[in-house]
Amino acid sequence: MNDSKVDGSELRVESKTEAVTSDAQPSTKNSQLHLSPGQRAWHRFQKNRAANWSAWFLVFLLVIIIAWPLALKISGGNFAKTYDPDQLSDAQFAPPGAQHWFGTDMHGRDVLSRTLYGAQISLLVGVVGAGVSLIIGVLWGAVAGYVGGRVDSALMRIVDILYSLPSIIFVIVLITTLGEILKQSHLFRQSPALAGASRVVLLFVGLGSISWLTMARIVRGQVLSLRSRAFVEASRTLGAGTPRILFYHIIPNIFGVAITYVALTVPSIILYESFLSFLGLGVQAPMASWGTLISDGVGQINPIRIYWWMIIFPGGVLVTTLLALNFLGDGLRDAWDVKGK
């Protein structure tokens, strides 16, 4: 008799717990239904640890890049001279230590400061190139996919022609051709600073000219699947024009895909810039980027001694940043990819 009572009480307890869990599940589902697509993507992104750590690392790197020049200007004195990226000294090839954390180069300049200043140019080129990819690629692909017909055929044939060209060779030819034209001008001969800044602008033009091609194809494919949806047909029936449909209905619905690809475009453009600067076709001295710093370190390799800190530290920051950007892009892709969940 006692055992039967105990069993009956356990059954009642289990039935109550099942009822509670069954009631809790619909409530969580209902709460998820009230979230916007952006909020759902944010919740999925927070569950990705690699993407979160990568985002925090990039924020930390940006804070250091912004704060370091300000610290040099505010501090002044011996500290500013020691860590000035362009300050020459007698401490050539000094190994990493308490005074120079990343060591010094062949001219006695602090490698840490040059790495942080070089990060400004490398990241700036990556962000600008990704911005060009976002603006041109989204508009090009959206117009081609929505209008269709001859417009779609003409726009995508231009993309195919540019795709058929070897991208890195195309950028090299473009940069060298425009660079020679600018060198012959009277204005650039009299202003060395303007000539140095023109190399960065040429990187923007060259890398931006090839960065939007894949974005245009991806956006066009998304727009082809959206233009026959009910909300687009309803807007067209109410008399909305093509620009309004594109900017108010089509483009907001491909925002997640565009942002994901932009995050994956930044590391590829940074890698292109570092490669061009390593070859001497990008940023020129006295300006620095990660590519020029690695090139300086490789140039000092000799059978007697290898100054490893001139390669390891700039290369390590470059590789770590590229990994963080790739992890961030993968996290954004998983967060916005509803079909894959």
Measure the CA–CA gap between 168 and 175, rounded to whole angstroms. Answer: 11
The 10s digit of each residue's pLDDT in 239-279 is 888 888 888 888 888 888 888 888 888 999 999 888 888 88
Measure the CA–CA gap between 65 and 331, rounded to whole angstroms. Answer: 24
Q: Can you read off the two tokens belonging to residue 273? A: 């810039």
In percent, the amount of the chain with pLDDT more than 90 equals 24
The 10s digit of each residue's pLDDT in 196-233 is 677 788 888 888 888 899 899 999 998 988 888 888 88
Least confident of 14-18, 40-44, 85-89, 197-201: 14-18
Per 3-state DSSP, the chain is made up of helix, strand and coil in percentages (nearest 5) of: 80, 0, 20
> Which residue, among 207, 219, 329, has the nearest Cα to 263 in the 3D structure?
329
**Cβ–Cβ contacts within 10 Å for residue 7, how many?**
10
The 10s digit of each residue's pLDDT in 141-189 is 999 999 888 999 999 999 999 888 888 888 888 888 887 777 777 666 6
pLDDT for position 226:
87
Q: Is the distance from CB of 280 to CB of 289 less than 8 angstroms?
A: no
Helix axes 111-147, 255-279, angle to 10 degrees: 130
Close Cβ partners of 24 (under 8 Å, ≥ 6 residues apart): none
Distance of CA 151 to the CA centre of its chain: 31
171: phi then psi, degrees, rounded to nearest 5: -65, -40
The 10s digit of each residue's pLDDT in 101-134 is 999 998 889 999 999 999 998 899 889 888 888 9
Measure the CA–CA gap between 54 and 271, rounded to whole angstroms. Answer: 18
CA distances from 7 to 4, 13, 17, 52, 285 (A): 5, 10, 15, 48, 84
Distance of CA 51 to the CA centre of its chain: 13
> Which residue, among 263, 251, 248, has the nearest Cα to 328 in the 3D structure?
263
pLDDT for position 339:
53
* pLDDT mean across residues, the chain: 82
pLDDT for position 8:
46
Measure the CA–CA gap between 22 and 16, rounded to whole angstroms. Answer: 10
More confident position, 294 or 284: 294
